[in-house]
Amino acid sequence: MINQIPGIKHTDTNNFFLMAGPCAIEGEDMALKIAERIINITDRLGIPFIFKGSYRKANRSRVDSFTGIGDEKALKILAKVGHEFGIPTVTDIHESNEAAMAACYVDVLQIPAFLCRQTDLLVAAAKTGKFINIKKGQFLSAGSMSFAVDKVRDSGNSQVILTDRGNTFGYQDLIVDFRGIPEMRSFGVPVVMDCTHSLQQPNQPNGVTGGKPGLIETIAKAAIAVGADGLFIETHPDPLHAKSDGANMLHLESLEQLLEKLVRIRQAL
């Protein structure tokens, strides 16, 4: 199913696919450089690649947090990345009226975890005819995501992807229940593990989300081992100075070595 996304590169290796890129679109040069670096790696390893970048960050702890460089400007950058490199792109939407707008620029619409129960949003996304990546809410069981899938399918769109991003564990931590990956795959959709957001540490006293990027490799290895179809990894050439979610992003220079290990695990399976 994933090979039906426009621009996805077909491989003969039965490999996992990768959604990766910066948390937010910070500028054109940055987006193009990150995309080019990831493409060089994924082409060599035979990994189908979808470039990820948020055109706007709506869910912020503080009113002074970075939200974006402007919707149209960021969406045009996403479209340029897709056109220049011939790859599919994904971005998240937050309200029903954003679905048709974003669909003009990207190949996959992403529903944020906190919004995965919003019926109007799911229906509006489905009606664009695009692939819909729904992130599992931190507050939901894997089994309950079947209803989110049904909302998209019942709206006439069978192109659904589910992404696990961990479960709330107390007020300031998340854990991953890897039983959820095979359970959600039983719905007949590709399942992705978000290896970076699942390591967030939300609700910090300073209003800036923390994270444990040192465990990205652990989460990714376990996800491939239990049968995840894809991985979601936010990456940046300078996470410490990223404008959004830098605390849990993978340094871009660490991506190649990690993917090499994961490909070997996939081949062993």
Cα separation, 22 vs 170, in Å, equals 27
132-165 pLDDT tens trace: 999 999 999 999 999 999 999 999 999 999 999 9
3-58 pLDDT tens trace: 778 777 765 558 999 999 999 999 999 999 999 999 999 999 999 999 999 999 77
Give Cα separations from 166 to 47, 124, 186, 209, 222 (angstroms): 24, 26, 18, 15, 13
CATH superfamily, domain 17-268, is: Aldolase class I (3.20.20.70)
Determine the pLDDT at residue 32.
Answer: 98
249-258 pLDDT tens trace: 899 999 999 9
Q: Is the pLDDT of residue 108 over 80?
A: yes
Q: DSSP assignment, residue 85?
A: H
Domain range annotation of the chain: 17-268
- Mean pLDDT over 124-128 rounds to 98
Determine the pLDDT at residue 71.
Answer: 93
Determine the pLDDT at residue 11.
Answer: 59
